[in-house]
Amino acid sequence: MPGCSRPALPSLGCLANAVALSPSLRSAVTAGPGAGGSTRSPGSTVGPSAGRSSPEAAALGLGSGQSATRVQAGMDGAPPPASPAGLSAYVAVSQLLGLTLLATTGAWLGRYRGGVAWHSPLQFNVHPLCMVLGMVFLQGDALLVYRVFRHEAKRSTKALHALLHGLALLIALIGIVAVFESHRTKSIPNMYSLHSWCGMAAFVLYLLQWLLGCGFFLLPRAPFSLRSRYKPQHVFFGIALFALSIAACLLGITEMLLFNIRDSYSHFVPEGVLANTLGVLLVAFGLVVAYVLTRDDWKRPPLAEEMALSMDFKTLTEGESPGGGGQ
């Protein structure tokens, strides 16, 4: 809605706007359970979902399989609102930086460290490659999902967010196994460095955040009130973990340079310059993603049917499961 920010639960003022704009939506909201052909019992799954017809979508004359974007556009027949121009530019820059930092990691390991292989002395090199790909690039992209797919149904966006984080975790796990295996075969002690402490903390907390995210936001039985209370913590710790992951990478880069080129590092040798450039790219990627996430006016606007459903749930089933609704 114009002028409405995106609170955890839409304010009554915003909702009033939504209802005032659409007589059919108004009837869907005020009629409550059972309106629009829906027979709903508390706790049943009725959230706005891709490929399913919600009561509000039905009230607007939309059938099953029509996207929530259509619902939003269908309010007055206008096309769905375009993403803010600045947002697209920042997302494009983030992807450019992300791809460049992956290429830089590959170039460093390929050109100066002999490449990457599992059953060989090169096994260690799997570690930096997987950590940069998983804990930075994929994690960053998972965070941007709610901004990039801002007009898609919440349920599909949530699934993509969780899936990308899951993929990032899997790749990071391969990277962690690689470094422990490599240490074991070379009889190097484990977990003695600041990098390994920060890195391990980032990985374990990231796994915990993923499990909590699935528990609170994917399980249909999680109470609506609990989701609302957990969400600000999820967002804060999510951004903090992204920052910690980048910090761990910077420590790892420095450590690896000191192990490998201790004597020539201060002479601006090409390997040192390339690895320092990777560090700067990691910081730049982190800053661009953080900027996109913290711009209030770029936050995902609630779809009309989500606002109606939130109100519906709040007034009628306070504390019940939203079953994939507004959160």
Q: Residue 113, Cα to own-chain centre: how many angstroms?
A: 32
148 binds ligand HEM (CB under 6 A): no
**Please, what is the minimum distance in Å from the beta carbon of residue 10 to ligand HEM?**
11
Q: Residue 75 has what DSSP assignment?
A: T
Closest CB to ligand HEM among 57 and 147? 147
Considering only residues 185 through 214, tell me which ones interact with ligand HEM, judged by CB under 6 A.
Answer: 190-191, 193, 195-196, 199-200, 202-203, 206, 209-210, 213-214
Selected range binding ligand HEM among 33-41, 49-57, 69-77, 183-191, rule: CB under 6 A: 183-191
Return the HEC string of 12-51.
HHHHHHHHHHCHHHHHHHHHCCCHHHCCCCCCCCCCCCCC
x/- letters, 108..137, toward ligand HEM (CB under 6 A) = -------------------xx--xx--x--
226 binds ligand HEM (CB under 6 A): no
Considering only residues 19 through 78, tell me which ones interact with ligand HEM, judged by CB under 6 A.
Answer: none
Give how many residues touch ligand HEM by CB under 6 A. Answer: 49
φ and ψ at residue 75, rounded to 5 degrees: -55, -45
The two three-digit tokens of residue 243, written as one number: 């920052």
Burial class (CB in 10 A: 0-12, 13-18, 19+), 13: exposed
The two three-digit tokens of residue 314, written as one number: 């709040």
Out of 225, 255, 272, 320, the only residue in the binding site for ligand HEM (CB under 6 A) is: 255
Question: For the stretch 292-311, what's the b/e string if a residue is b when 16 or more beta carbons lie within 10 angstroms of its beta carbon?
Answer: bbeeeebebbbbbbbbbbbb
Distances (CA, A) of 290 to 9, 115, 249, 285, 301: 23, 32, 17, 9, 19
252 binds ligand HEM (CB under 6 A): yes
**Please, what is the minimum distance in Å from the beta carbon of residue 37 to ligand HEM?**
28
The two three-digit tokens of residue 62, written as one number: 């939309």
Out of 241, 289, 308, 309, the only residue in the binding site for ligand HEM (CB under 6 A) is: 241
314 binds ligand HEM (CB under 6 A): no
155 binds ligand HEM (CB under 6 A): no
Please identify which residue in the block is written with the tokens 């965070």. 143
183 binds ligand HEM (CB under 6 A): yes
295 binds ligand HEM (CB under 6 A): no
CA-to-CA distance for 9 and 19, rounded, in angstroms?
Answer: 15
Closest CB to ligand HEM among 38 and 322? 322
Cα angle 202, 288, 125 (rounded to 5 degrees) comes to: 45
Which residue ranges make up the site for ligand HEM (CB under 6 A)? 127-128, 131-132, 135, 143, 146-147, 158, 161-162, 165, 176, 179-180, 183, 190-191, 193, 195-196, 199-200, 202-203, 206, 209-210, 213-214, 217-218, 231, 234-235, 238-239, 241, 245, 248-249, 252-253, 255-256, 259, 293, 300, 327
